[in-house]
Amino acid sequence: MSNGRIAMFAIGFLSFCFVSWGCAQSSNPTVNLTISSAASLKNALETLQPLYQTEHPNIKIAYNFASSGSLQRQIEQGAPVDIFISAATQQMDSLETKGLLKEGTRQDLLGNRIVLIVPRDRNDIQSFQDLISSRIKTIAIGEPESVPAGQYAREILLSLGIFDTIRSKTIYGKDVRQVLNYVATENTDGGIVYQTDARTSNQVEIVAIAAEKFHSPIIYPIAVLQSSNHPEVAKEFIAFLSSPQVQEIFERYSFQAIGQ
């Protein structure tokens, strides 16, 4: 090979190396972010996911939806989670007490309302007090010990003085979505769920909204877990969810924005 051809080959090889190195440097490694969230946020968060990933293509979101109590237990048992969103403060308080939250990352994200629902076109239930009627054979609520919506439902029924009266016809769901399904499929005469869940189904109707004085404040707290492998990315995702534009989208799903 002539000296000229060798020189041209060397220049070409070096150019390839520099281009390859530059591309490698400019590409960002993929980050997998795991978010454990209360089941009632499923529709809203899945709607927001493409919006976030358009802006952050190298960050892949994996959601784990369940009751807040179940998610709390999973985290306590070492489940690999970056962000936790609870439907009540109780579960987040417990994790914070045990030192499982990244300090300074917890904040209140959203609010909600509790409603009484019935299968579509049913017209013999108009209020919570109607649940004591002999016409009503079954009423579904979330399991109060693990499902915040069930906890709020029990508080409402106790405040109204009818919890003991309807206890024998109460069916418990593992999360709020199961309660919604019981009513939508007419397996129960009625159910108590979040307003946001009720509005995801055209098979149920809202017949009453619980007065806020009858239950604890409904607050959805969010925080980064101490064990997160990507705490800075997790903090950025929380900032995204807290932004005014995203809070407006939550409001379209009937959540209540909480100002920071």
> What is the token pair recorded at 143?
């399991």
Q: Which amino acid is at 62?
A: A
- Where b means 16+ CB within 10 Å and e means fewer, 94-117 reads bbbeeebbbeebbebbbebbbbbb
What stretch(es) of the chain map to CATH 3.40.190.10?
31-111+220-257, 114-214
Task: Tell me if 154 sits within 8 A of 216, measured CB to CB.
Answer: no
Task: Tell me if 39 sits within 8 A of 64, measured CB to CB.
Answer: no
Query: Is 246 assigned a ligand-binding role in the annotation?
Result: no
Residue 22 is predicted with a pLDDT of 43
Q: pLDDT tens track of the chain, all 260 residues?
A: 544 443 444 444 334 443 443 443 345 689 999 999 999 999 999 999 999 999 999 999 999 999 999 999 999 999 999 999 999 999 999 999 999 999 999 999 999 999 999 999 888 899 999 999 999 999 999 999 999 999 999 999 999 999 999 999 999 999 999 999 999 999 999 999 999 999 999 999 999 999 999 999 999 999 999 999 999 999 999 999 999 999 999 999 999 988 54
Residue 21 is predicted with a pLDDT of 39
Task: Give the residues across from 119 on adjacent strands.
Answer: 204
Task: Tell me if 68 sits within 8 A of 116, measured CB to CB.
Answer: no
Q: What is the pTM of this model?
A: 0.82
> What is the token pair recorded at 116?
């009484």
Query: Is 194 assigned a ligand-binding role in the annotation?
Result: yes
Please state, in angstroms and rounded to a whole number, the distance separating the CA atoms of residues 243 and 232.
17
Query: Is 254 assigned a ligand-binding role in the annotation?
Result: no
Query: Is 40 assigned a ligand-binding role in the annotation?
Result: yes
Contacts of 215 (CB under 8 A, 6+ apart): 114, 152, 155, 156, 159
Architecture of domain 31-111+220-257: 3-Layer(aba) Sandwich (3.40)
Architecture of domain 114-214: 3-Layer(aba) Sandwich (3.40)
Query: Is 68 assigned a ligand-binding role in the annotation?
Result: yes
